[in-house]
Amino acid sequence: MITLTICNHKGGTGKTTTVMNLAAAFGMTGRDVLVVDLDPQAFLTRMMGETEAAAKLSSLVLFEEDIESEKVPITPLRTFDLVPSSAALSSAIRRLTKPTDVLWLREFVDCMDKHYDLIIFDIAAAVTVFSLNALVASNFVVIPVLPEYQPVLGGEQTYQTAQVVRKRLNPDLATPKFLLTMVDGRKRNHLGYRKYLRERYGERVMRTVIRTCTALSLTRQNGQTVFESDPQARGSIDYASAADELGQLFDPIDGGDLGPESKEEIKAHSSGEQFSFL
């Protein structure tokens, strides 16, 4: 099973949009995907058409003793499953202060190993016990970055945090990857920061970029991903390509690029079929 954290210490970088659309893309390949919303503001939960969960029916239960897979409050959605968030996560931070409190999600991952192929953690734009838990429990981390000053600075700080976790707590965590989001090729500053990141971080910046797209910018709370709301949109194409690139990272032997026919199939997701492009 693969575990992935998607995070940036700076908000407004397309983090939650990236979580839901990557999860959908992987789910459409036939993989069993679970998304865990660890943001007390529950943006992802709401965007997927779900109401904020009560504490006992939220991701907060993952920080209780002796968690078992049968007790995890999972909400089945169309292309992936969700553990919803609750505002109660905010108050729980005050009691999760011991050094060992960064290990809760690692235990949760162990108990879910036979149930899912991929677990994705969505965390708040801050360094908290929940974000540290996610990084400690993950194999991979993706940092969505809008190519502008503050998001790039936040992305670099997130990169350093992940590297510290990798060195001290989780040697199995791969080197973080940057994913450029909301890229507008007409803006000079976007071109400048894209060049800066690629020159400084090289292959640690994903080849795929997520371009500006009306279908992605529309705020929805009906549970639709971009593949369902507008399968012809550039956002659908870009997130399918990002999932393909990550799939090669997860499984470099079996992973392969999307061919033209498979890319056309992903656009037609509204037909309800499953596609394999990893």
Number of structural domains (the chain) is 1
Quote the pLDDT of residue 219. 63
Rounded Cα gap, residues 238 and 209, in angstroms: 7
pLDDT of 264 strictly over 60? no
Determine, yes or no, domain membership for 50: yes
Of 183, 179, 267, the residue nearest 217 (C-alpha): 183
Tens of pLDDT, residue by residue over 183-218, are 998 999 999 999 999 999 999 999 999 999 988 887
pLDDT digits (tens, 9 = 90+) for 111-170: 998 899 999 999 999 999 999 999 999 999 999 999 999 999 999 999 999 999 999 999
Alpha helices in the chain (DSSP H): 15-27, 43-47, 88-92, 104-112, 129-137, 149-168, 188-201, 214-217, 226-229, 234-250, 260-267
Mean pLDDT for the stretch of residues 47-60: 93
Any domain includes 277: no
In degrees, to the nearest 5, what angle opens at C-alpha 133 toward C-alphas 128 and 137?
A: 155
Predicted local confidence at residue 204, as pLDDT: 97
User: Taking the C-alpha atoms of 44, 108, 206 and 19 in order, what is their torsion angle to the nearest 10 degrees?
Assistant: -10
Give the tokens for residue 132.
């540290």
Interatomic CA distance for residues 204 and 128, integer angstroms:
24
CB-based burial, 61-75: b 16+ in 10 Å, e otherwise: bbbeeebeeeebbbb
The answer as to whether 128 is a domain residue is yes
Task: Report yes or no on 28 lying in a domain.
Answer: yes
pLDDT tens profile 214-238: 888 876 767 889 999 899 999 999 9
Asked if residue 69 has pLDDT above 50, the reply is: yes
Residue positions counted in the chain: 278
Tell whether the torsion through CA atoms of 162, 164, 170 and 176 is positive or negative. positive
C-alpha dihedral sign at 271, 216, 237, 153: negative
- pLDDT score of 67: 80
Quick check: is 278 in a domain?
no
Spatial separation of the C-alpha atoms in residues 111 and 113, rounded to whole Å: 6
Residue 168 included in any domain: yes
User: Which residue type sits at 141?
Assistant: V
The pLDDT score that the predictor gives to residue 7 is 97
Residue range 243-255: average pLDDT? 81
- Per-residue confidence band for 66, with pLDDT thresholds at 50, 70 and 90: confident
Q: What is the residue-wise DSSP string for 58-92?
A: SGGGGGSTT--GGGS--EE-SSSEEE---THHHHH
Is residue 272's pLDDT more than 80?
no
Lowest-pLDDT range, 9-13, 139-143, 199-203, 260-264?
260-264
| Residue listed under structure tokens 């090729």 | 185
The tens digit of pLDDT for each residue in 91-108 reads 999 999 999 999 999 999
State the pTM of this model: 0.89
Per-residue model confidence (pLDDT) at position 75: 96
The reply to whether 13 falls in a domain is yes
Record the tokens describing residue 27, joined without a space: 């789910």
Q: What is the pLDDT of residue 83?
A: 98
pLDDT greater than 90 at residue 13: yes
C-alpha to C-alpha distance for 225 and 216, rounded to whole angstroms: 9
pLDDT for res 153: 97
Amino acid at 171: P
Query: Nearest CA to 35 among 177, 134, 181, 169?
Result: 134
Within a domain: 276: no
Mean of all residue pLDDT scores within the chain: 89
pLDDT surpasses 60 at 256: no
3-state helix, strand, coil in the chain (%, to 5): 45, 15, 40
Identify the CATH number of the domain in which residue 76 sits.
3.40.50.300
Q: What is the pLDDT of residue 270?
A: 39
Q: Which domain holds residue 13?
A: 2-271
**Per-residue pLDDT at 251:** 82
Query: What pLDDT, on a 0 to 100 scale, did the predictor assign at position 201?
Result: 97
Distances from the Cα of 133 to the Cαs of 4, 63, 170, 171, 265, in angstroms? 12, 10, 10, 14, 36
